[in-house]
Amino acid sequence: MNNKYVNILSFIFAVVFFIFWFNTGGHQFFEFLKKPTSEWQFFDYAILFAISTSIVAWLTQRKRNKIKDKVNTIYEEIKSEETIKTSGELDIPQELIDQVEKTRNTYVWLFLITTLILILLYVELTIITTPNSDIKIEEKSVWSIDLIFNLIPWFMFSALLASGLQWSYSKKYHSVYVDSVLNNLNLQDVKVSIINQNPKYAIKKYLPGMPYGQINGSETLVIVTDQYSVHAASITIDRHDNSGSGA
Amino acid sequence: MSTLFKGTIVGLDIIDSTNINTIALVSTSSSLGVSGFFKKLVGDNSLNINGKNLEKIELLSSDFKGLFNVYGNDQIKARKLLNPTTIEHILKLASQDNLYALTIDQNYMIAAFEGDNIDIDLEPKFFLFKPRTNEGRIKNITDSVNQVQITAKKLYDLIK
């Protein structure tokens, strides 16, 4: 099933679910929006988060597929270039990279902006009006510090989720980028690549004189020649100030 | 949290190596405050590397200018491996590239270099940071490759 039908079905499901939920007592949810300290607060939060996340996910997924296609196309063009040399000019067209760098951040900003819009919608609903006809329009909520506290966890979670998605997204395409550069290095009888390998096991096994602490390593650069193979990584060794030392 | 060490680890698998010895050079630097605990843990005169018990090798005190303590699985063979030419190369690695520790275990060598002389920074920046330019990123990658290749060659020359 392609993305178009998945999106349509997701949308229909979301609308049907909302109508069902609203008619089976969900309208009381808006009471919660007006008085967030009601007894069923946890359930309300869950519903609030589920609905908002579904909307955000649906909107961003549509955009993300377009971004992915665009980035993939760009990287395919980069891969086809064979002009990079360590000693010569680097000829990946700047326009291609500019496009990648622009689209790289689009996803996360889209996610955050959509989240912000939903938060504003929440504030709008809470302060300006309520769909419950039993509540008179004169009894509007007023802005209070409680609203801030209600919004912070939601916004923080959305921000963390967006950051995580963007991080994995940029890592994925970063690897493709580095691979494309390394594959194009014009080195005779030398193979260069990167792997995700923490050097801490080698350090513990072979370098007992190193300081004792938490070892953080970069990606490992691997170079294979006909005489030797090299694994190299930048590291830092940190120690919590309240812990002991030794190696 | 404090940083005890910042640098680069370079490991070398040598093809067709004839070396059967194991030696380890451990920094005598106590500025990081680890030597005392380390000595208590493993003792002054021996340490264990890859399941092998290494004895402290007594060299002339001027050989490594007090930079390293040397451990090996065979006193005589270790001294043979650490001939004046090799020691000179190691001292050059220490002064020019900030060699902090070195272990040679048969056909495998691993060295720790302190500082930013060899910079392997291939990670992407987080989205709040300004992205690197194309030229900067490719230069960073090629510089890393070149630096590692040069260092690997220096290590390789130690036992070849």
More confident residue, A133 or A20: A20
Q: Do B37 and A244 touch (CB under 8 A)?
A: yes
More confident residue, B18 or A178: B18
- Confidence label for B4 from pLDDT (cuts 50, 70 and 90): confident
Is A127's pLDDT higher than 70? no
- pLDDT by residue (tens digit) across B56-115? 888 765 677 778 888 898 888 888 888 888 888 999 999 888 999 999 988 899 999 998
More confident residue, B12 or A53: B12
Burial of A196 (0-12, 13-18, 19+ CB in 10 A): exposed
Q: Which residues pair with B55 in a beta bridge?
A: B46, B72
Interface ipTM = 0.84
Preferred mutation among A172, A187, A221 to probe B, highest tally of B CBs within 10 A: A221
Q: pTM for this structure?
A: 0.59
How large a percentage of chain A has pLDDT more than 70? 22
CA A83 to chain centre: 33
Preferred mutation among B109, B141, B153, B154 to probe A, highest tally of A CBs within 10 A: B141
Tally A–B CB contacts below 8 A: 196
Element (H, E) at B36: helix B35-42
When CB atoms are compared, the residue of A105, A232, A233 closest to B127 is: A105
CA dist., res. B126 & res. A12, Å (int) = 36
CA dist., res. A129 & res. A122, Å (int) = 10
CA dist., res. B47 & res. B52, Å (int) = 8
Q: Do B10 and A231 touch (CB under 8 A)?
A: yes
Is B9 in contact with A202 (CB distance < 8 Å)? yes
Q: Do A221 and B42 touch (CB under 8 A)?
A: no
